[in-house]
Amino acid sequence: MAPAGDMPTAQAMAQSFSLANMVPQASEHNRGVWAKSVEMATRNHVRRADGNVFTNCVILALN
């Protein structure tokens, strides 16, 4: 997965809209907590990093 806004060219951005690069999202979550907390912090870390940055997702089962 890669956000279209991170694509370096118009062609790469167009190619990022394939179904292989899509994940269902809740807009209120994606524009709120995720954008302001997780995504912004990750992008800031990448800007400061001296090398590759790898991210991962952890799913917790809440009972």
Q: In this predicted model, what pLDDT tens digit does every residue of 15-31 receive, in sequence order?
A: 888 777 677 777 787 78
Whether pTM exceeds 0.85: no
| Tokens linked to 35 | 């954008």
**pLDDT single digits (tens) 36-61:** 888 888 888 888 999 888 887 777 77
| Tokens linked to 32 | 């709120």
Rounded to 10 degrees, what is the CA torsion of 47, 48, 52, 56?
Answer: -80
